[in-house]
């Protein structure tokens, strides 16, 4: 029977113990990062994980986009810029009464203009959404929902809902409101909704302008 040096056994045991500790620390750090990313990104975390195919790939994507956004010179709007964009938005809402499709498309364009003015680079929709999700992880859901309704080419009600979603993001970007989850109820009305309802009641809207 071969005698094993006790010192060798001690060294081997210490190495195993150290490995176990390292693995435990690594697992703890991974759980901590996951919890922080989930807490920050909310449903955007789940959407990214579905798109990436795995948790590790999704978390790497979220960390990478955050690092990328750090390189941008993001700034708040000046008072003059804020007033200008607010006036643009009011005009778009009023236009929704007679030209809902055009109004929603222009709302999307205004969101892009606000982003560019604040320091976000020019990009396609998905890249814009990814960049916005870093600092505005809750209202980014409205951006995606509004854009999806435009692509749907749906009814006037779909366009109205798209305007509601865009309004939530517009308020966040222009007024720098607190980034919290907002439910957009169906009964909420924009200024354009109230005007449209008034015109419907008075009979001043052409038949082709009525919701289908």
* Dihedral sign of CA atoms 89, 94, 95, 101 in order: positive
Q: Tell whether the model's pLDDT for residue 212 goes beyond 50.
A: no
Residue 52 CB burial class (10 angstroms; 0-12, 13-18, ≥19)? middle
pTM of the model as a whole: 0.65
Model pLDDT, residue 137:
86
Model pLDDT, residue 17:
61
The residue among 171, 26, 16 whose CA lies nearest residue 90 is 171
Q: Tell whether the model's pLDDT for residue 196 goes beyond 90.
A: no
The residue among 175, 98, 88 whose CA lies nearest residue 136 is 175
Q: Are 150 and 108 in contact (CB under 8 A)?
A: yes
For residue 157, the SS3 value is helix
- For 18-33, the pLDDT digits (tens) are 666 665 566 565 566 7
- For 44-56, the pLDDT digits (tens) are 888 998 988 888 8
């Amino acid at each position: 029977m071969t005698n094993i040096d006790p010192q060798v056994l001690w060294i081997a045991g210490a190495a195993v113990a150290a490995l176990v500790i390292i693995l435990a620390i690594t697992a703890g750090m991974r759980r901590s990062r996951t919890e922080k990313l989930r807490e920050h990104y909310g449903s955007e975390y789940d959407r990214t994980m579905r798109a990436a195919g795995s948790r590790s790939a999704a978390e790497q994507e979220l960390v990478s986009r955050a690092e990328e956004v750090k390189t941008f010179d993001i700034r708040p709007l000046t008072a003059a810029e804020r007033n200008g964009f607010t006036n643009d938005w009011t005009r778009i809402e009023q236009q929704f009464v007679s030209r809902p499709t055009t109004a929603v498309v222009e709302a999307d364009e205004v969101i892009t203009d606000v982003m560019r003015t604040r320091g976000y680079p020019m990009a396609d929709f998905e890249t814009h959404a990814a960049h916005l999700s870093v600092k505005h992880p809750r209202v980014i859901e409205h951006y995606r929902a509004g854009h999806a309704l435009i692509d749907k080419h749906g009814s006037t009600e779909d366009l109205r809902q798209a305007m509601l979603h865009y309004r939530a993001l517009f308020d966040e970007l222009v007024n720098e409101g607190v980034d919290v989850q907002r439910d957009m109820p169906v009964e909420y009305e924009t200024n354009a909704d109230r005007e449209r309802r008034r015109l419907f009641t008075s009979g001043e809207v052409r038949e082709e302008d009525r919701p289908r």
